[in-house]
Chains A and B, each alone.
Chain A
Amino acid sequence: MYSFVFALSQVIDALIPTFTIFVTAAFINAAIEVFNKEATMNDLVLPIAMIFAITAYSVLSGAVMKLIDTSRVIYFRKTLVPEMIKFRASLEYRHIEDQKTHDLIWRVFPYIENTVWNMFTQVVEAVSLIIFVLGITGTLFTQMWWLAVVMVAAGVPIIYFAAKAGRASYNADRDMTEIDRKQWNLSWILIDRENVEERTVYGYGTDVNDEYVDKFEFARKYRLKINAKNFAKQKMVALLSIVCTIAAILALIPRVFAGEMSVGMFIGLVNAVIALSDRLAWGVNDMVVGITKSREWLKDLTDFMKLETIEGATDEPAKNFSFREIEFINVSFKYPKTEKLVLDGVNFTIKKGMHYSFVGENGAGKTTITKLLTGLYDNYTGEILVDGKNLREFSHAQLKSLTAVVYQDYARYRISLYDNIAMGNIADFDNREKVEEAVKLVGLEETVSNLKDGLDTPLGKVLAGGVDLSGGQWQRTAMARCVINPAPLKILDEPTAALDPVAESTIYRNFETITRGQTTIFISHRLGSTKLADIIYVLDKGKIIESGSHSELMSCDGVYRRMFNVQAKWYAAEASDE
């Protein structure tokens, strides 16, 4: 509806200049006649009323249109943005880690609803401009046909060069996207609040700033050069159109003296033709540049929408999912676009109700296993079977209900503490008792009682009254989220890295309660924790090199024993020290 009113008003707006020519002509002619006493004042009433009507319409329609404008942008925002969000949320995970996607998002996403609205207005304006041009040239045509042709011909190069300029300018943006993002990355290093310590102590500010300026200036000059060249061409042809305008007026003059054209009509036309050439040089030009850019933007959007998404990526976890056994058979994996085999023919079994521990050097592939189990990547070779069924055959809702993970880089959601924990089980979100129980288990009770609004205190600085937690407290919040989660397999990736010794020990001691007898995978460099595990898998360079219980592994001379002893030495009695 709004769009229709908008379009209609644009058409009327476009026709107004043509009306104005005639009305002005009528008015001026009448005025001259009155002046020469050839007509009475009454003859002036109609033209004055018309001029009044036209002006009133232009002024009022502007105000009304602005109201519609806002509604329209909001409408696009409401319909379009959620769709785009859903699309982004459903992307295959490998795209999230890919530079090409980052580049596209960089160009496509900012203010998407405004871009779309602009495109719409550009098209309507284009129609409106065409009508405007047709109106004037049409009038011109009735007066002197070839002149109309000349004026239209003058417009063609303007459109041609404007389109070229628009394309070139967007392509320059494309070329510079990576540099822009790198420049933004440097900028982020210098303004990130989380980075105060390194920035201040290392004192690299000036130097990184210089590098930022280099990149910025490089991109700026690149664009400037292209835009200057095109701008010069655009303006050259605009000058041409002015010369045509003057020629047009020149050609009209003899007709006025021949009495074939009234003075009023002449004045009306001259005003109109000058306005036309001005519109060609700026209005039409900018519009064509805008439309071309929008077209290029649409190409990017299309490319983005071609990215593969995952069915069910935005679904909630399925209910009551359980398993008896998970098997990794000869699983190998490389991250997309990389050559390194992060997992290299891995075989192991996870049985229901048992505790497992994965240990190994940094980069041995421990965390990668969780990424495969949670379905983030499925481009592995070999097989992952859950109760004999291929992991790839499970729906995403099922995959989500299989695992509860405490990530090494767990998310710190800037919402209330309660929400942060309760979202671990979205199906039972309002169960306050369970949340309170989880808080107790992970040792957050004291923190909660110290918060102003207890569990309902917002965390982080987004919501009003939000407070920040320490690293250890955040980590325990992530743990509590995992405790709440009904998924049968719990994966804890370095869950105690930021905890003090007493807190860490408490977590270990409560381990059985925390895990409620469910299956767990514990990834940790704190080898004390491995004593909790029934089976320990030792990974090295993407392979499992040892497996067994703590005592089994300690009884043979392997990597695990060496690792454990190195760490245990720190805690050994003084006598065995050195």
Chain B
Amino acid sequence: MYRRSGMRRKHRTNNFPNGDTREKIPMYRVFFYGTKVFIKYTPVLFLCSIFLAVPNALLRGYAVLATQRLFDSVENAFSGELYAVYKALIILGAVLVFTEIVAAFHVFTVRAFYDKNSGGIQRMIHKKMSRIDPIAFENVEFHDDMEKADRGKWNVMGLTETIWDMLGFFIPYFIFMGFYLHHVNPRFVLAIAFVFLPILIAQILRTKIISKFVDVTAPIRREHDFYYNAITNRYYYKETRILGIYNFFLGRYLKTLKSLSRAELSANRKVNFIELALSFLTIAGYVGILFMIISALLGGEISVGAFAAVYSSIASLFYMMDGLIRRRIGQAAEGMGYAHNFMRFMNLPERESTDEILPDTSKGIEMQNVSFTYPLAEKKSVDGINLEIHAGETVAIVGENGAGKSTLVRLLIGLYKPDEGKILFGGVETSKAKLKTLFENISGVFQKFQMYQLTLRDNIRMGNRYVDDEISESLSAAGIELSAATYPEGEETMLGREFDGVDLSGGQWQRVAIARGLYRAHNIVVLDEPTAAIDPIEESRIYEKFIEISKNKTAIIVTHRLGSTKIADRVIVMQNGKINDIGNHEELIARKGLYAEMFLAQAEWYETG
């Protein structure tokens, strides 16, 4: 398990203060974090890359020295040794060959460890996702970070790698060159400053401009991406086409594209003008260096060979500096916005747990004066509820849209923590319990059931990945017949069109979801609108089957089909976050309250005669 250190999260309540989430994370923290990832997933490759970087840098520096020796020897050869020329050349050749070999290994190592880490970080994103407090998903302010974490991982890696490259490669190179220049003539060290300063200033300014641009345009970008999806994404495709609203979205798409482009152009213009202006400084610096080395040559301070070597080494210094700062650091700095998204994502609140006691489901569930408000919402979704559900009981929860039914269920099983009051789930207080232990014996079929683009077998096994039991029992309980027409490859049939699988209807998908819920071993089961898309005969059969399976098990059913509440021992009627009434079907009908009103509204459509 990956543990963050030095980055304790700040938010532990359900309501996260505004603005706090938009904090900027200093670059060094991103660097430390990235380094830890590199060490975790690719310790060997990472160390190799650093150990190769230094000799790569020194060899490159040494090549300049060897070139100078060659030139010197040529000049001197007129008056003496021809042999020295060949020796110098052989040394230069050896240095070049060696540099090439080391550079090749260096480059390849970096590529390899970069690739491997992209998977490693993705794995961490997944882990983090599964540990985020479920309520955090309801908080709009976090959505941006969640969506961009994926993209931000590249920037975290890029930034970290750039800094390591700077430390391992560029700095040794510049130090070597500094020594070399100093050795030739102490004044020449100034050359490094001449080369360095203008580019550095340009980059600092650039980073500011670009990151402002990224921040300012983030909302437009989101809009822009959505319009693109509204036209091309499979989820919107058919409706957009049939409504004939292609032009509507294209118009908006082009509008956002235009304003994005304008902003991008203007930011880039600013950046480029600054760079252009500073280029003059660079040129002035260059002239200064030239003047220095010429006067040194004419003053007899340096040899012609040294002059030529210094002259050409300045060019390569420029090239290196430019490569480091403009391309590498510039790119890394531009991506800082996304790196922030990633870092903030990794800091999203997790559920604190103090208890790891396995709940004793024979103790039932108890709610004491529980209230709950969604993040950033003003109204309480669940308001002062006291409720006891006994082990083995079947309870139905009904009410109008938005009455708080699903929220109540999420609280009951501990998915959400109450703001006020206490919930005892099998004797364990849910707000302190570890989610994994809490859910050990819970299964469920949810309103937003998933349509996994996997094989039928894998779809069912998502309910319990740790066992590899027969799925046929669950399939038949959910009314899935393995006919060759619908499931040509039986349990191994790929579902969904993403990977050329079979195209299931909404109701067939829901049956798969039910089978998945039943496959999971459980003492308590939650069914949130489990049969909304299922045909009548099958619906009835599934409920009967369900009674049979859940004998001695606790069941909580949320439903709009009031007829199905007859199988419940008790019906809880919700209204505006409060319990309106509790009782069995007959009692509630007799009381002529909200339940009776709803029941009759639906029943009138089934009056025969």
**Does any Cβ of B come within 8 Å of A554's Cβ?**
yes
A426 to B254, CA, bound (A): 18
Q: List 11 A-B contacts (CB under 8 A).
A: A85-B231, A86-B246, A96-B237, A197-B134, A197-B444, A203-B439, A204-B465, A335-B503, A366-B505, A570-B562, A572-B606
A246 to B100, CA, bound (A): 14
Provide the residues of chain B in CB contact with A339, threshold 8 Å. Answer: 485, 488
Given that A48-B290, A52-B287, A257-B77 are known contacts, is A242 also in contact with B603, CB under 8 Å in the complex? no
Provide the residues of chain A in CB contact with B43, threshold 8 Å. Answer: none
A574 to B67, CA, bound (A): 103
Do A200 and B439 have beta carbons less than 8 Å apart? yes
Provide the residues of chain B in CB contact with A191, threshold 8 Å. Answer: 125-126, 129, 146, 150
A461 to chain B, nearest CB (A): 5
B402, B449, B598 interface centre (most CB from chain A within 10 Å): B402
Which of B68-76, B161-169, B335-343 lines the interface with chain A? B68-76
A193 interface neighbour in B146, B235, B269, B275, Cβ under 8 Å: B146
A267 to B312, CA, bound (A): 10
Provide the residues of chain B in CB contact with A201, threshold 8 Å. Answer: 413, 415, 439, 442-444, 526
Provide the residues of chain B in CB contact with A408, threshold 8 Å. Answer: 506, 533
B322 to chain A, nearest CB (A): 8
Which of B185-193, B219-227, B547-555 lines the interface with chain A? B219-227
**Does any Cβ of A come within 8 Å of B353's Cβ?**
no
Which of B108-116, B357-365, B422-430 lines the interface with chain A? B108-116
**Does any Cβ of A come within 8 Å of B534's Cβ?**
yes
Given that A185-B498, A223-B115, A562-B537 are known contacts, is A423 also in contact with B248, CB under 8 Å in the complex? yes
A257 to B75, CA, bound (A): 10
Do B119 and A78 have beta carbons less than 8 Å apart? no
Given that A70-B265, A220-B116 are known contacts, is A361 also in contact with B537, CB under 8 Å in the complex? yes
Given contacts A70-B269, A195-B450, A203-B130, 18 further A-B contacts (CB under 8 A): A85-B253, A89-B232, A181-B499, A204-B462, A209-B126, A209-B127, A313-B246, A316-B247, A338-B502, A341-B485, A359-B535, A363-B507, A374-B242, A375-B242, A376-B241, A405-B242, A481-B243, A501-B562
B351 to chain A, nearest CB (A): 10
If over half of B's interface residues share one DSSP class (helix, strand or loop), that class is named, otherwise mixed; here it is helix
**Does any Cβ of A come within 8 Å of B47's Cβ?**
no
If over half of A's interface residues share one DSSP class (helix, strand or loop), that class is named, otherwise mixed; here it is helix
Do A411 and B236 have beta carbons less than 8 Å apart? yes
Interface string of B477-518 (1 = CB under 8 A from A): 000000001101000000001111011111110110000100
A98 interface neighbour in B500, B505, B532, Cβ under 8 Å: B500
Count of A-B contacts judged by CB separation below 8 Å: 452
Interface residues of A in 476-504 (CB under 8 A from B): 481, 485, 494, 497-504
Provide the residues of chain B in CB contact with A28, threshold 8 Å. Answer: 304, 307-308
Do B294 and A48 have beta carbons less than 8 Å apart? yes
Closest to A97 in B: B497
Do B122 and A202 have beta carbons less than 8 Å apart? no
A517 to B87, CA, bound (A): 100
Which of A58-66, A129-137, A349-357 lines the interface with chain B? A58-66
A250 to B516, CA, bound (A): 76
A13 to chain B, nearest CB (A): 13
A245 to B510, CA, bound (A): 70
**Does any Cβ of B come within 8 Å of A82's Cβ?**
yes
Closest to A560 in B: B536
Interface string of A437-457 (1 = CB under 8 A from B): 000000000000000000000
Do B532 and A497 have beta carbons less than 8 Å apart? yes
A401 to B243, CA, bound (A): 8
Which of B14-22, B31-39, B276-284 lines the interface with chain A? B276-284
Do A568 and B608 have beta carbons less than 8 Å apart? yes
Which of A119-127, A160-168, A231-239 lines the interface with chain B? A231-239
**Does any Cβ of A come within 8 Å of B476's Cβ?**
no
Provide the residues of chain A in CB contact with B307, threshold 8 Å. Answer: 28, 31
Residues of A in contact (CB 8 Å), total 174
Provide the residues of chain A in CB contact with B324, threshold 8 Å. Answer: none
A397 to B247, CA, bound (A): 13
**Does any Cβ of A come within 8 Å of B230's Cβ?**
yes
A316 to B247, CA, bound (A): 8
Provide the residues of chain A in CB contact with B272, threshold 8 Å. Answer: 63-64, 66-67, 70
Do A35 and B297 have beta carbons less than 8 Å apart? yes
Do B605 and A505 have beta carbons less than 8 Å apart? yes
A197 interface neighbour in B129, B446, B599, B606, Cβ under 8 Å: B446
Do B297 and A74 have beta carbons less than 8 Å apart? no
B401 interface neighbour in A97, A98, A238, A472, Cβ under 8 Å: A472
A381 to B475, CA, bound (A): 33
B230 to chain A, nearest CB (A): 6
Which of B5-13, B48-56, B88-96, B172-180 lines the interface with chain A? B88-96
**Does any Cβ of B come within 8 Å of A290's Cβ?**
no
Do B452 and A189 have beta carbons less than 8 Å apart? yes
Which of A4-12, A300-308, A526-534 lines the interface with chain B? A526-534
Interface residues of B in 208-228 (CB under 8 A from A): 219, 222-223, 226, 228
**Does any Cβ of A come within 8 Å of B453's Cβ?**
yes
B431 to chain A, nearest CB (A): 15
Given that A201-B415, A207-B466 are known contacts, is A564 also in contact with B536, CB under 8 Å in the complex? yes
B46 to chain A, nearest CB (A): 16
B601 interface neighbour in A198, A199, A501, A568, Cβ under 8 Å: A501
A217 to B502, CA, bound (A): 28
A263 interface neighbour in B75, B86, B137, Cβ under 8 Å: B75
Provide the residues of chain B in CB contact with A198, threshold 8 Å. Answer: 444, 446, 449-450, 462
**Does any Cβ of B come within 8 Å of A558's Cβ?**
no
B315 to chain A, nearest CB (A): 8
**Does any Cβ of A come within 8 Å of B238's Cβ?**
yes
Do B74 and A256 have beta carbons less than 8 Å apart? yes
A102 to B598, CA, bound (A): 46
A245 to B92, CA, bound (A): 11
Which of A142-150, A322-330, A384-392, A462-470 lines the interface with chain B? A462-470
B500 to chain A, nearest CB (A): 4
Closest to B608 in A: A568
Provide the residues of chain A in CB contact with B601, threshold 8 Å. Answer: 501-502, 504-505
B596 to chain A, nearest CB (A): 11
A94 to B9, CA, bound (A): 48
Do B101 and A566 have beta carbons less than 8 Å apart? no
Provide the residues of chain A in CB contact with B569, threshold 8 Å. Answer: none
A70 to B267, CA, bound (A): 10
Provide the residues of chain A in CB contact with B228, threshold 8 Å. Answer: 85
B134 interface neighbour in A86, A196, A246, A263, Cβ under 8 Å: A196
B112 interface neighbour in A56, A64, A224, Cβ under 8 Å: A224
Provide the residues of chain A in CB contact with B276, threshold 8 Å. Answer: 60, 63-64
**Does any Cβ of A come within 8 Å of B538's Cβ?**
yes
**Does any Cβ of A come within 8 Å of B261's Cβ?**
yes
Given that A89-B232, A500-B400, A528-B605 are known contacts, is A202 also in contact with B464, CB under 8 Å in the complex? yes
A525 interface neighbour in B311, B450, B507, B603, Cβ under 8 Å: B507
**Does any Cβ of B come within 8 Å of A410's Cβ?**
yes
A528 to B602, CA, bound (A): 8
Provide the residues of chain B in CB contact with A415, threshold 8 Å. Answer: 226
Given that A242-B97, A246-B92 are known contacts, is A89 also in contact with B241, CB under 8 Å in the complex? yes
A568 to B537, CA, bound (A): 11
Closest to B116 in A: A220
B499 to chain A, nearest CB (A): 6
Do A187 and B126 have beta carbons less than 8 Å apart? yes
A531 to B605, CA, bound (A): 7
Do A500 and B279 have beta carbons less than 8 Å apart? no
B108 interface neighbour in A78, A96, A202, A231, Cβ under 8 Å: A231
A418 to B241, CA, bound (A): 19
**Does any Cβ of A come within 8 Å of B85's Cβ?**
yes
B174 to chain A, nearest CB (A): 19
Provide the residues of chain A in CB contact with B506, threshold 8 Å. Answer: 362, 367, 408-409, 494
A256 to B225, CA, bound (A): 64
